[in-house]
Amino acid sequence: MAKVIAVCTSQAKGTRKELVPDGLLKEGYGMVGDAHADAGTHRQISLLAIESIDKMRQLGYKVGPGDFAENLTTEGIDLVALPVGTGVAVGKEVILEISQIGKQCHTGCAVFKQTGKCIMPKEGVFARVIRGGTVKAGDGIDVKPKDRD
């Protein structure tokens, strides 16, 4: 079963995120208190699989959840295979909608400065918050396939 293994937040952009026990996601906004939350963007929440972080660990980098500035670190779900528009239920309350796969990396990224390599451009996933609520490590993740047009 797919699940959240870490919830992470930061007060400044361009930095690693700190692990927190839980996070409050606000509909149409993102994680309350996180620097990247913004009602005016489609990148309200970022997700990265622990399997992606493990790839960096296998290359010898000492990295973990939050080091790539992701809000939710997941396990057991192939995030980059989810089409834009796919619904994702997290825990008992939260509904996300995948809005972007990958991103253009900026040279000011703390991880890139330290390691010279970042996985977010190809393996990071972004989502809008469709229905808010609290998320915490251990919450299940259930994919709601995109409706066909």
Domain ranges for the chain, please list them.
3-144
* Mean pLDDT on 79-84: 93
Domain 3-144 has CATH 3.90.550.10: no
**Which residues are paired to 72 by β-bridges?**
7, 47
**Which residues are paired to 23 by β-bridges?**
135
Q: What is the model's pTM?
A: 0.88
Q: What is the pLDDT of residue 149?
A: 47
* Mean pLDDT on 62-91: 94
Check if the beta carbon of residue 111 is closer than 8 Å to that of residue 63. yes
Residue whose pair of structure tokens reads 């992606």 in the numeric block: 52
- Band the pLDDT of 122: cuts 50, 70, 90: confident
Residue 82's nearest CA partner among 67, 97, 64, 61 is: 97
Q: What is the pLDDT of residue 19?
A: 97
Hey, which bits of 65-149 come out as E strands?
Answer: 72-75, 87-90, 94-101, 125-131, 133-136, 141-144
Q: What is the pLDDT of residue 101?
A: 87
- Band the pLDDT of 108: cuts 50, 70, 90: low
- Band the pLDDT of 111: cuts 50, 70, 90: low
Lookup: tokens for 145: 């396939």
Output phi, psi for 25, to 5 deg: -95, 130
